[in-house]
């Protein structure tokens, strides 16, 4: 393990958690997006993370892929006064649970904070080691 691998591993964790935060915020912003009954609703975005060189202590993590979650049909709601309603008065909402998104947001935020704390502590340790060499 090289001396600066800690920064690379935690930096990769920051990137994954940032993308997770972006996906969750996008989901939350679109939870009330209405589409016509015959159109496809907004789909929940999910981020799938994958370890890199697991067990070696040198790899970190990366985004393996982004997926769509929820029911592809969305939630069909009867709103006859809505301008996008069909002849029967139905519209489509995304199948996104706001409570689940709040939990996802907290987990992504805590992971981001933990990786940032590791970077800050490693940077302080490296700076202290450099100061020893000056002494």
- Per the structure block, which two tokens stand in for 4? 């600066």
Q: What mean pLDDT do residues 69-94 have?
A: 95
In the chain, where are the structural domains located?
A: 5-134
Residue 2 pLDDT more than 90? no
Residue 57 pLDDT more than 90? no
Confidence band for 1, pLDDT divided at 50, 70 and 90? low
Confidence band for 4, pLDDT divided at 50, 70 and 90? confident
- Outline where DSSP puts E strands in 11-127: 35-36, 44-51, 61-69, 75-78, 90-93
pTM, two decimal places = 0.85
Please report the pLDDT score of residue 135 as a whole number: 62
Tell me the three state secondary structure of residue 130.
helix
Regarding beta strands 61-69 and 44-51, do their DSSP bridges make them parallel or antiparallel, or are they unpaired? Answer: antiparallel
Do 70 and 45 form a contact (C-beta atoms < 8 A)? no
Listed in sequence order, the residues at least 6 apart from 128 whose beta carbon sits closer than 8 Å to its beta carbon are none
Query: Would you say how long the chain is, in residues?
Result: 135
Residue 96 pLDDT more than 60? yes
């Amino acid at each position: 393990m090289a001396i600066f691998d800690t920064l690379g591993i935690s930096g990769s964790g920051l990137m994954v958690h940032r993308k997770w935060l972006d996906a969750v915020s996008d989901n939350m912003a679109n939870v009330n997006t209405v589409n016509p009954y015959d159109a496809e609703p907004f789909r929940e975005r999910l981020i799938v993370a994958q370890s890199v060189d697991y067990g070696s202590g040198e790899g970190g993590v990366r985004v393996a892929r982004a997926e769509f979650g929820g029911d592809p049909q969305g939630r069909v709601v009867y709103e006859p006064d809505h301008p996008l309603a069909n002849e029967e008065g139905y519209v489509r909402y995304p199948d996104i649970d706001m409570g689940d998104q709040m939990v996802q947001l907290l987990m992504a935020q805590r992971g981001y904070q933990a990786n940032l704390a590791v970077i800050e502590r490693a940077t302080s340790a490296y700076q202290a080691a450099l100061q020893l060499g000056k002494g």
